[in-house]
Structure 1
Amino acid sequence: MPELEDVSYSFDECVAAVRDYYAFLAKMYMDESEIVDPPEGGWPSIVNAKPETLEGFGKTPEVLKLLAHLPYVREASDGHDVNSLPQARFAAWHEIFDWVNRDQREIGACKEMTEGCFRPFEVPHAVGLSRVDRWETTLILDTELGIIHYGGCPGPIRHNPSQEPILDDFYDYADEEDEADWHEAEWRADAPAFTIPAFFELLKDQFRELKFVPIGRRTVTDVYVTHIHPSMEGLIPMVQDIYRQHGWPDLDRYRKDECIAAVQKAIREKYPSEPCD
């Protein structure tokens, strides 16, 4: 397993990993039109953000550079957000900065909804990738260490990951006399960490194995759901079978449009109360 001393952050590698992940999702279930790429100079809302916004954000130039050049999934105007992983979506930072620049949101609240319980540590070189205002999944990308922490990681993934996690014990780097430092180490130790490329491969592996299961072009569930309403029993195995019947995970054989249509038809017939957009 990799150790922190063997890992380094690469801007180009990080952007490529995110772009490749979105391309993978588009091949499986997501509409390509939902994914937007930055203009050549970066997202204007971030590059030209107000000084007071940047001061309140409190992140390093490297974090800002990264956010300004990442592709994003659009924020849904109809309220039906596109999931990039089960019951969760990635933060569209270009839109978040636009809201803040127009005084529609406070930057502190935006940090809260993307960093969750990691927010109080005020780490300038780390940033939240996911929206955690309604869900437990907290993805913290650290540009100094070159890793992503998977907060809220399902137990089966944590205990048997398809990609190698970071070996280090984060308590080893904490100052026992500094309570805040110790609490940060506690959070990091509880959230498995991976190199940035390995993290996105881990997520793709879950989709390949149909442990993460799209039930439409926007909605993703998973096999790790612990509380399933009796009326929903059998839904996930049914959808998994439909994907396999349409060639998944062999991308040379997989028929995306036919598959998604078949999934939606089956859900509407057998589970009419379940959203399958």
Structure 2
Amino acid sequence: MNLKQIEYALAVADEGSFTRAAARCHTVQSALSHQIARLERQLGAQLFERTSRRVALTPAGEAFVRSARAALDATRRIGDDVAAACGQVRGRLSLGMISSLTGLDLVEHIAAFHQQYPQVDIHLNVGRSEWMVEEVRGRRMDVAMIGVWPGAPVEGVALRALVDEELVAVLAPGHPLAAAQRLPLAQLADQPLVDFAAGTGARRQTDEAFAAANLAHRVQFEITDMRLVEQFVRRGLAVGLVPAAVAQGFEGVVAVPISDAPVRRVYAIWSNTPTPAAQAFVAMLEQTLADQAPKPPSMVRLAPVM
């Protein structure tokens, strides 16, 4: 087998379609299908189940994909590793972030990284924390900024805690609770809420907080983008729970602290075996955070009393 066959097979596995895989690989479908058939003959196993509606991996195909991804990634890293040994950082850097990232200006960080390492091709995706953990664990993404409930395990990746953020309630200005100085969760238990989908890390922050207080709550609107929280709240349809820094960027709503507030922990995560570009990015991130850390007060030497 050759690398081109591996790339074609992984493209079919990812796209679930020979047509889309051929477009992704910039080749014609007949050439791609021919190479996949040759690969299957060489392996002595069928990798894909083909029907008129879909293409699915066989058990042999699933085993192939696990090994093939690692092999292709290692092959692509050879040139980057050699360049890094010679003092050059290059290659591809795939980044991810949650839509409500606070405490770090990631765009500014990317700009500084690009200025120092112009040979690195940088890509950024915005998505859910759970998806990004899987992408980093599977080495399809290099570094990601995620937000999870503090008790949630983040396994199979290297990580660095960035900040713990308490959530605040955001309400329409005319809401009966908008004038409060501080609210307990109990006063929000009977309010319609706008939140992320059940099972996501963002949703667990509120679910766990209400459960700890032995309170029921009602999420009436499930969303996938933090900006929708602002829109639903502003129109008086629901109450939202968001990090205080996010609430500061909302318009036409009122933010009220919560006495028993849910907490979000923001992490930077990366592969346990990072590429040279990822290593350089994390090193720069660590330096940025060190520069931002509050400095201890300087010691003052007192003159002896005469």
TM-score normalised by length of structure 2: 0.22
Structure with higher helix content: 1
Higher strand share: 2
Larger Rg: 2
